[in-house]
Structure 1
Amino acid sequence: MDSIFLTDVGKVREHNEDAGGIFLNKAGEYLAVVADGMGGHQAGDVASGMTTELLRQAWESMEKSFTPEEAGNWLSNKIAEVNQKVFEKASENSGLQGMGTTLVTAVCTPSFVVIAHVGDSRAYLLTDKELQLKTQDHSLVNELRKSGQLTEEEAENHPRKNILTRALGTEMHIKSEEIALEWKAGDAVVLCSDGLSNKITNEEIKNELLSDHSLHESAQILIHTANGRGGEDNITLAVVINTPLEEGMM
C-alpha cells in the first residue's frame, strides 16, 4: 500500500494540537490515525498525542489478521480503553482538565477497511469516480442539519460548526462509531482534521488526489491550499491507497 501522513500548524495558531500517523502491524496491515486535540495550555497536544501513541503501541504489537467484524470490535474496544486513560490523566492533573480530542482511524487491509471515529475529523473513501464521506460529524451543527433545522449549505458555513457533541477523553465512557467497507486496488482512504475539510471541498480533494501528482505532492498541495485560504486551524491529512504490494511503498 502507498500512504502519506502530513500535519501542519496552519497560519494562525502557535501550536499544533493535531496528531496521528500511519502504522504497520506484524501482519503487514495498516492503521491510519488523525486526532484533533482541544483544551487550554496545550492540553490538546497531550490528548491527541496520547491517543495516537496508545493506538500505535496496540496496533504495532498485533500479529494476526482481522476479519472486518474483528477489526471493528478491536477499534471499539481500544478506543474505549484509550478514552478512559485520557479522561483519567485529565482528572489527575489540574492543568489538563477539560482536554479531549477528536479521533478518526482506519484499519486498512488488502480486502477491506474499517473506519472508527469520535468527533468531527472525517473519513472518506476515494474511488476512480468519486470521494464518498463515510463519517457523520459528532457536532451540534450536524445534529441541527439531521433534524432539518439547517440546510446542508447552512451547516457547512455555520459559525458554531466547531461545537462537538462527542469527543474522546471528555467523559469516562464514550461511544465510537464503526463502519466496514470493501475496497479495490486503486481505491484510497482519506482521513483529515477539520482544518482541511473546512477549507477544501470534497470535489477539490478528489481532483487533487486523482491528478498526475505524486501522493506526497498532492498532500502538500492540499495543505498549502488550506493555508492559503486562511489556515486558521491546524491541518492534518492521512491517505492510504490500496495498491498491489509490489507497487506500494512500505
Structure 2
Amino acid sequence: MPDHSHFYPFYLGIITATLAQPCPADFMQWHNSEIQYLHGGNYQEPFNPNDVSQSIITITNAHGWTYGRNFFFMDALFTESGQPSQTNLYGEAYSTLSLSKISGLNLSYGIFKDFGATGGINLGENMDSPQSGTRAWLYGITLDFDLPGFDYFNVDFLRMRVTEPADIGTSWQITPTWKLPFEIAGSKWSFEGFADFIGKKGDRADRQALAQPQLRLDIGDLWGNGNHLYLGIEYQYWHNKYGIKGLHDNVPQALLLWKF
C-alpha cells in the first residue's frame, strides 16, 4: 500500500490557508469554529481485550458562503492506556452547494427548507504506523429540514468509495446532523451531534452505525461571556467499529469546548 503520511501536513495546510483567507462580507455569510477536548476510558480496539483510554482534540470549522456551506474537522487521538501509546489523526471535509442559493428560488416546502449537492473526503493516519491509513471519497445529496426548535437538522445521502487501505469498492452512507438549543432555569444548553449509518463494503467491512450526540452547557454565559466556553458530555456509540463485525463502542466522554 502506498505511504501517503507525508501528505497529511499538506492537506491540513491547504485547509488552514483556505480558512485564513479574508472574504467579503457578502461572500462569507456565517462561520463557526471550535476546539474540543474529549476524554474516555473504555474504547474498544481490534484484537485487544483491554479497555483503551484516550484523549481526543478536535478542531472544527463550518461556514456558509454565497452558494452553500463548507465543513471540516480534524481529530488528534492520543492513546493513554490499554494498548501501546500511539497518535492517530483523522479528518473529514465536506462542501454542500445549495440549490436555493444557486437558483435564487425559494425551494422550501413543508418541513423541507433546502436541497443541496454534497461532496467530501475522509482521511485517517496512524502516525506511529505510516503504512496504515484510510481514504474515502463521498458524494450525494443533502436535505435541510425546518423543524421546530432546531437551529438545523440536515441529512446527507451519500455514495462512498474507499480507496485505502485498499480499493474495496463503493457503499452508501446516511448522516443526519442536528442542533437543538434549550434553556433550563436560565442556563443555556444544546443537544447536538451526528450519526453515520454506513453500508457493507464488499466482504471487507460490515455495516456500521456511529453516533456521537453531545449535551453542552454554556458555562461562560453564567458570568456574562456566553457562546464561547462549554462543558458537557459526548456519548459515542459505534456498532461494528471500523466495519469489524462484533466490535462495538459504548463510551461516555467528558467534553470541554471553546468556540471562537
> What TM-score, normalized by structure 2, do the two folds share?
0.34
Considering Cα pairs closer than 8 Å and 6+ residues apart, tell me whether 1 or 2 has the greater RCO. Answer: 1
More strand per residue: 1 or 2?
A: 2
